[in-house]
Amino acid sequence: MVAPRVYQAMSQPVVGHLDPYFFQVVEEVRSLLGYAYSTANQFNIAISGTGTSGMETAVANAIEPGEKFALFTNGFFGDRIGEIARRQGAEVVRLSKGWGEPYDQQEAREFIRRERPRVVAFVQAETSTGMYNQGKAICEAAHQVDALTIADCVTSLGGMPVMVDENGIDIAYSCSQKGLGCPPGLSPMTVSPRALERLKVRKSPVHSFYLDLLQLETFYMGHKYHHTASATMFYAVREGLAIVAEEGLEARWARHRANHEAFVKGIEAMGLSMLVPEGHRLWTLNTPRIPEGVDDAKVRQFLLEKYSMEIAGGFGPLAGKVFRIGTMGYSSTAENVALILEALQAALKV
């Protein structure tokens, strides 16, 4: 759900993309993003596009054709990063796990030491499975071989600890529509000084003009035209981030965690189980297993018709096996958890 304050912010008059007021909003977003990402990085911008535009920006800027790109994947979005890197001409090497299976930290370190890649990428919050991937060991090993690290934080920012500096993430990207409680349309990103240095010594230009970070720097920090960014979406994200700052990261994480845990408790009381082992679960996206003999599509249809409630099903190897139920951002409330548990219980009886 979009936060009511965000809707209100979006009704402000639209200014031009070179208007001093627009750059004031950009500056506020830059500073608020530093807080939300828990980073001292100064290069914090919002890419015009959805989460995938952030993914494409991170990969296209960090890697050059022919270079080695090490990918950790245990779900759909990890695989998508690999496909983008392949299209950028990278040599992609993978440490793949089953969907929803955690990485072994020692194995992760050995993989990086063996492959000695230029860039290492992982998905911190894998929305296809509901798994939180701990990235600290990956980033430490990557830095030991002088690789840049990319983390997909689409489903963690604003709901769970991202901790960019603490984890050693060089480029993190997210989206506007999940933990920040805004509509889709911008991809908030942070880039470390180390990654910026690397960009400045690239041998070839970034293969996307639109997503070239140094060009975007001349726009957002240098105030020179690059593209016509949406003032309305910047109003939205500024408001979403201001709400995060007012609530405070610790309190916000505690709220997400408490609502997630209440959801799990309710699910287990119904006799269902969670796909992801405890300690590896997202607080923003829950994946209960669908009991034997229950038709996933029928349950979702029932929830839509009787409760006007949309939940997602699993896909890929998890099709028909799990539900995917968001408890993120503005939607993460005790009332919503109670409502979905009641609705699910009714749906499973049909």
Ligand X SMILES: Cc1ncc(COP(=O)(O)O)c(C=O)c1O
Of the residues 41, 57, 155, 336, which one makes contact with ligand X according to CB under 6 A? 155
Nearer to ligand X (CB atom), residue 74 or residue 215: 74
Footprint of ligand X on residues 63-82 (CB under 6 A)?
77
Helix (H) or strand (E) holding 73, with range, is strand 68-73
Binding flag, residue 329, ligand X (CB under 6 A):
no
Distances (CA, A) of 120 to 26, 54, 141, 317: 29, 16, 10, 25
Torsion of CA 116, 118, 119, 120, to 10 degrees: 0
- Tell me which amino acid residue 350 is: V
Nearer to ligand X (CB atom), residue 36 or residue 341: 36
Answer for the pair 260, 283: CB distance below 8 angstroms, yes or no: yes
CA 274, chain centre distance (Å):
21
Retrieve residue 229's tokens.
């960014």
Binding flag, residue 50, ligand X (CB under 6 A):
yes
Retrieve residue 169's tokens.
């993430």
Retrieve residue 115's tokens.
């492959």
Nearest to 169 by CA among 157, 178, 180, 158: 157
Torsion of CA 137, 58, 49, 286, to 10 degrees: -20
Of the residues 56, 64, 115, 152, which one makes contact with ligand X according to CB under 6 A? 152
Answer for the pair 93, 155: CB distance below 8 angstroms, yes or no: no
Binding piece for ligand X, criterion CB under 6 A, among 12-20, 50-58, 157-165, 262-270: 50-58
From the DSSP assignment, how many helices (H) and strands (E) are in the chain? 13, 12
Binding piece for ligand X, criterion CB under 6 A, among 21-29, 44-52, 104-112, 332-340: 44-52
Binding flag, residue 51, ligand X (CB under 6 A):
yes
Binding flag, residue 127, ligand X (CB under 6 A):
yes
Residue that the structure tokens 């829950």 belong to: 286
Q: Closest separation between CB of residue 173 and ligand X, Å? A: 8
Rounded CA separation 218/139 (Å): 29
Binding flag, residue 154, ligand X (CB under 6 A):
yes
Q: Closest separation between CB of residue 64 and ligand X, Å? A: 23
Rounded CA separation 217/291 (Å): 50
Binding flag, residue 322, ligand X (CB under 6 A):
no
Nearer to ligand X (CB atom), residue 51 or residue 266: 51
CB atoms within 10 A of CB 321: 17
Binding flag, residue 315, ligand X (CB under 6 A):
no
Nearer to ligand X (CB atom), residue 27 or residue 83: 83
Answer for the pair 47, 57: CB distance below 8 angstroms, yes or no: yes
Q: Closest separation between CB of residue 170 and ligand X, Å? A: 17
Pattern of binders to ligand X over 87-126, x per CB under 6 A?
Answer: ------------------------------------x-x-
Rounded CA separation 311/300 (Å): 7
Of the residues 25, 55, 325, 343, which one makes contact with ligand X according to CB under 6 A? 55
Closest-CB residue for ligand X? 51
Nearer to ligand X (CB atom), residue 138 or residue 341: 138
Binding flag, residue 85, ligand X (CB under 6 A):
no
Q: Closest separation between CB of residue 22 and ligand X, Å? A: 23
Retrieve residue 168's tokens.
């050693």
Of the residues 175, 249, 311, 337, which one makes contact with ligand X according to CB under 6 A? 175
Binding piece for ligand X, criterion CB under 6 A, among 13-21, 46-54, 140-148, 294-302: 46-54
Residues that bind ligand X (CB under 6 A): 50-52, 55, 77, 123, 125, 127, 152, 154-155, 175, 184
